[in-house]
A and B are shown apart, each in its own frame.
Chain A
Amino acid sequence: MSDKKMINLIIDGQKAAVLAGSTVMEAAEAIGIHIPRLCFHPKLSTAGACRVCVVEIDGQKNFPVSCATAAAEGMNVKTNTPAIREARRDIVELILDNHPRDCQICEKNEDCDLQKLANLFGIRDLRFDGERKRYATDFSSPSIMRDPEKCILCGKCVRVCSEIQGVNALSYSHRGFKSTVVPAYNMNIKDSVCIACGQCTLFCPTGALMERDYTEEVFKNLADPEKFCAVQIAPAVRVALGEGFGFAPGTDLTYEIVAALRILGFKAVFDTQFSADLTIIEEGHELIDRIKNKGKLPMFTSCSPGWIKYCEHFHPEFLPNLSTCKSPQQMMGALIKTYYAEKSGVPASKMYSVSIMPCTAKKFECSRDEMDSSGYRDVDVVLTTRELIRMIKQAGIKFNELKKGEFDDPLGESTGAAPIFGVTGGVMEAALRTAYEVITKKQLPAIELKAVRGLDGIREATVDIDGLKVNVAVVFSLSNVHKLLAEIKEGKRNYHFIEVMTCPGGCIGGGGQPYPQGMTDPLDHTLYNLRGAGLYSIDEKKALRKSHENPLITKIYKDFLKEPLGHLSHKLLHTHYHKRCPEGIPAEIREKNVNV
């Protein structure tokens, strides 16, 4: 009963009542007062590191941090006295003190929480001039850039990497003025256990952790008359890009984005959703094959490159369980430089293939050695949603006034099964829609499989396919994946097919998506639900909602690929993953090759 006890307190003269165990910050939030903060996030553990959220409490000498102070009966809290305002201002000034003051030329300009706070608090003068930290910027990774000089040691990246993703690539090192956030042994990101998901870039309040920016490279290639620039856009991009232009999250702007890409100079605009449909055909047949021929089960989806890298680093024993299908991005890349090159007469050597993704790990994926089975790189460069927003703005395109564009044939058409690839549970739902009909040759009774939808980290369902009971699971966030894999190993859980997405909520919460605007945070379910609803509504509006009904898919098999899992499919659309042993993973020790 004690856990349901209510605590009554006064905040800024208003009565507040909260459950025992709530913090002062939560109590204030409940009565409509948003206490400013930098290091606090409701879904991460509390650090109390930045001190920005200090408040005054009657009877207490110091100013306690509201994020880590429990609300107590009869407490009288003031959040906005002159003394508190001054303290907060001093705290932010002291942070700015040894922070590079180069906002105008910082990539994070206008999206920086520290900058916003300085402005919010009305800091117009910097009274202190502290010693500056000097560190080299780490450009080693194709996905993530790390600039420790801009780090304010809030530790959100450390916590999200550990608590949400279970990767633990980053930690504080050293102490005092020399404290930094670094991978183990101060190695660079590329050699560390980082799986490139980019969640840290969503959480970093400053420009210390950001996606690697390839916009200049793309602009250069667009201007090169010798190059034929083709582009593809992922499902989750179309319902989030608008946030950069004032649209509500979830607004479907597919065809406006197509129009913008044409103005930017892309000669062919394709839809990753086409190759999502293709993935379903290939992956669906692979699953049926594994079930029928007693192949390795459970089979895991392989669309999410962060998950693949995670599996290679931490769970190589599950590599044979990964679907051999390339991700839709890589499939599309391979088809552009083969099938489309053949149809259009543009030689693959002249093609420059760009993809727009909600994801930083896709940048790593496209750089993987094995992704060139056509003889050319499947995809030359990956831009995140954020980078495309920047490009559209730089080019002066009035995005809000654009007329709708159209995708190019023959890689532009998709069914309703494809857009939902961008949301957790979507790949599973799309796969089951097709698997059911391929196996039973009967029409699916209900097209929407609500059992696999939602925002719970691990979900499971049993689907009856004509007497064949197929056990499936859907999981996102690698800390959940870690739990699930452990239970599978222990034999506690038994599945045929598992959908894994690296990022919370799936690609809609991807590390390359727009920074949440206004009061929303990353990991915010309201935000994910809006973006997800956008994708589900694209699905609902399509006349064809099952991948195998896509007429262009039928055509590509007839004209080019011949059959699912056939020779050409294997060459272009499938791959194999390998154990990776970056520094910091004691694989030799773990596998007991060493007799210790």
Chain B
Amino acid sequence: MAVKSLEIKDKEVREKFKEIERFIGSEHKLNDNQGMLMGVLHKTQEVFGYLPAEAMDLVSDRLGIPTAHIYGMATFYNYFTLKPRAKYQVFMCKGTACYVAGGGRVLEKLQETLKIGLGEVTPDKMFGLNITRCLGCCGLSPVMQVNEDIYVRMGPEKVNAILDKYRKKETKKRKVSK
């Protein structure tokens, strides 16, 4: 969090900063500084996946809005997150039907495999684990959701294969970008 030690040597971060600045530049025509803050924070979260302090400092400086007030807004809305979010958010349904159908065992397996608790993120920021209440398809319980994908009639034995699918997707992406 220390802005003191902020040295943006990281090329990737620098690029992200530039993207936010471009967005601010394009918004300037439409809105005053206070008015565009919400949009800029949305953009920042889109770019970084969360709101890092350094990025809020950048926004503060460019819009002339004190960091304390930006922090206030960022913590007011549930939408914003100040912690890095995982690439793939795993939601296990813990609604009554899913729970009765054995959703709890799936959740145990997920925790065991990912080695994280609820609300936490794996160190490589690949997976985050959360519970959710009723996804509206109880007939297909237990239900699990990974980002936009829905998995039905889940069982602990299916967990590894599903997670592997996303891991493979990421390794492929990395190869392509190289």
- A and B associate in one complex: yes
Q: CA of A186 to CA of B4 in the docked complex: distance in angstroms?
A: 16
Q: CA of A155 to CA of B17 in the docked complex: distance in angstroms?
A: 33
Q: CA of A175 to CA of B73 in the docked complex: distance in angstroms?
A: 10
A596 touches B68 (CB 8 A): no
A173 touches B72 (CB 8 A): yes
Q: CA of A187 to CA of B14 in the docked complex: distance in angstroms?
A: 25
A184 touches B67 (CB 8 A): yes
Contact of A171 (CB < 8 Å), options: B6, B8, B61, B66: B66
Answer whether residue A594 sits at the interface, using C-beta atoms and an 8 A cutoff: yes
Q: Most A CB atoms within 10 A — which of B1, B21, B61, B66?
A: B66
Q: CA of A588 to CA of B6 in the docked complex: distance in angstroms?
A: 7
Q: How far is the CB of A519 from chain B (nearest CB, A)?
A: 32
B72 touches A185 (CB 8 A): no
Q: Most B CB atoms within 10 A — which of A169, A173, A193?
A: A173
A588 touches B7 (CB 8 A): yes
Answer whether residue B75 sits at the interface, using C-beta atoms and an 8 A cutoff: yes
Which residues in chain A, 563-596, are within 8 Å of chain B measured between CB atoms? 581-590, 594-596
B76 touches A589 (CB 8 A): no
Chain A contact patch, size range: 20 to 34
B4 touches A583 (CB 8 A): yes
Q: How far is the CB of B60 from chain A (nearest CB, A)?
A: 6
Residues of B within 8 A of A589 (CB): 6, 57-58, 61
Q: How far is the CB of B168 from chain A (nearest CB, A)?
A: 35
Q: How far is the CB of B150 from chain A (nearest CB, A)?
A: 31
CB-nearest residue of chain A to B77: A175
CB-nearest residue of chain B to A595: B14
Q: CA of A590 to CA of B18 in the docked complex: distance in angstroms?
A: 14
B8 touches A174 (CB 8 A): no
Residues of B within 8 A of A170 (CB): 68
A596 touches B53 (CB 8 A): no
Q: CA of A374 to CA of B75 in the docked complex: distance in angstroms?
A: 47
Contact of B4 (CB < 8 Å), options: A171, A172, A581, A594: A581
Contact of B71 (CB < 8 Å), options: A175, A184, A586: A184
B14 touches A583 (CB 8 A): no
Which residues in chain A, 182-197, are within 8 Å of chain B measured between CB atoms? 182-187, 192-193
Residues of B within 8 A of A582 (CB): 4
Answer whether residue B69 sits at the interface, using C-beta atoms and an 8 A cutoff: yes
Which residues in chain A, 372-419, are within 8 Å of chain B measured between CB atoms? none
Residues of A within 8 A of B135 (CB): none
Residues of A within 8 A of B53 (CB): 185, 583
A590 touches B67 (CB 8 A): no
Chain B contact patch, size range: 20 to 34
Answer whether residue B3 sits at the interface, using C-beta atoms and an 8 A cutoff: yes
B3 touches A596 (CB 8 A): no
Q: CA of A583 to CA of B53 in the docked complex: distance in angstroms?
A: 9
Residues of B within 8 A of A221 (CB): none
Answer whether residue A162 sits at the interface, using C-beta atoms and an 8 A cutoff: yes
Residues of B within 8 A of A355 (CB): none
Q: How far is the CB of A196 from chain B (nearest CB, A)?
A: 16
Q: How far is the CB of A25 from chain B (nearest CB, A)?
A: 27
Residues of A within 8 A of B4 (CB): 581-583
Q: How far is the CB of B54 from chain A (nearest CB, A)?
A: 8
Answer whether residue A168 sits at the interface, using C-beta atoms and an 8 A cutoff: yes
Contacts A584-B3, A596-B21 given: A173-B75 contact, CB under 8 Å? yes
B72 touches A172 (CB 8 A): yes
A185 touches B71 (CB 8 A): yes
The dominant DSSP class at the A interface is loop
Q: How far is the CB of B85 from chain A (nearest CB, A)?
A: 18
CB-nearest residue of chain B to A192: B68
Contact of B14 (CB < 8 Å), options: A168, A183, A594: A594
For chains A and B in complex, what number of residue pairs have CB atoms within 8 angstroms?
87
Residues of A within 8 A of B18 (CB): 596
CB-nearest residue of chain A to B58: A589
A596 touches B17 (CB 8 A): yes
Residues of B within 8 A of A586 (CB): 3, 6, 54, 57-58, 60-61, 67
Answer whether residue B70 sits at the interface, using C-beta atoms and an 8 A cutoff: yes
Can you list, as one digit per residue, whether each of B39-62 has a CB less than 8 Å from chain A (1) or not (0)?
A: 000000000000001101110110
Answer whether residue B2 sits at the interface, using C-beta atoms and an 8 A cutoff: yes
Contact of B76 (CB < 8 Å), options: A174, A185, A594: A174
A581 touches B68 (CB 8 A): no
Q: How far is the CB of B167 from chain A (nearest CB, A)?
A: 33
Residues of A within 8 A of B72 (CB): 171-173
Q: CA of A182 to CA of B71 in the docked complex: distance in angstroms?
A: 9
A168 touches B57 (CB 8 A): no
Q: How far is the CB of B68 from chain A (nearest CB, A)?
A: 4
Residues of A within 8 A of B76 (CB): 172-175
Residues of A within 8 A of B75 (CB): 173-175
Q: CA of A172 to CA of B75 in the docked complex: distance in angstroms?
A: 9
Can you list, as one digit per residue, whether each of B14-33 has a CB less than 8 Å from chain A (1) or not (0)?
A: 10011001000000000000
Q: How far is the CB of A314 from chain B (nearest CB, A)?
A: 11
Residues of B within 8 A of A192 (CB): 68
Contact of A596 (CB < 8 Å), options: B1, B56, B58, B70: B58
Residues of B within 8 A of A594 (CB): 6-8, 14, 17
Q: How far is the CB of B15 from chain A (nearest CB, A)?
A: 10
A583 touches B61 (CB 8 A): no
B1 touches A187 (CB 8 A): yes
Q: How far is the CB of B37 from chain A (nearest CB, A)?
A: 13
Residues of B within 8 A of A174 (CB): 75-76
CB-nearest residue of chain B to A594: B8
B69 touches A171 (CB 8 A): yes
Q: CA of A125 to CA of B171 in the docked complex: distance in angstroms?
A: 66
Q: How far is the CB of B1 from chain A (nearest CB, A)?
A: 6
Q: CA of A177 to CA of B70 in the docked complex: distance in angstroms?
A: 20
Residues of A within 8 A of B70 (CB): 184
CB-nearest residue of chain A to B8: A594
Contacts A594-B14, A596-B8 given: A186-B71 contact, CB under 8 Å? yes
Q: How far is the CB of B9 from chain A (nearest CB, A)?
A: 9
Residues of B within 8 A of A169 (CB): 68
Q: How far is the CB of A415 from chain B (nearest CB, A)?
A: 42
B69 touches A168 (CB 8 A): yes
Q: How far is the CB of A167 from chain B (nearest CB, A)?
A: 8
Which residues in chain A, 129-156, are within 8 Å of chain B measured between CB atoms? none
Q: Most A CB atoms within 10 A — which of B18, B56, B61?
A: B61
Q: How far is the CB of B86 from chain A (nearest CB, A)?
A: 22
Q: How far is the CB of A315 from chain B (nearest CB, A)?
A: 14
Q: CA of A171 to CA of B60 in the docked complex: distance in angstroms?
A: 14
Contact of B68 (CB < 8 Å), options: A175, A584, A587, A588: A584
Residues of A within 8 A of B3 (CB): 581, 583-588
The 4 closest A-B pairs by CB, nearest first: A168-B66, A171-B68, A586-B57, A184-B67
What 9 new A-B contacts, CB under 8 Å, besides A172-B72, A184-B71, A192-B68? Answer: A168-B67, A168-B68, A171-B71, A173-B75, A174-B75, A184-B56, A193-B67, A585-B67, A590-B61
A-B contacts, 16 of them at CB < 8 A, read: A162-B66, A168-B66, A168-B68, A172-B76, A174-B75, A182-B71, A184-B68, A184-B70, A185-B56, A583-B2, A584-B3, A584-B57, A584-B67, A585-B57, A589-B57, A594-B7
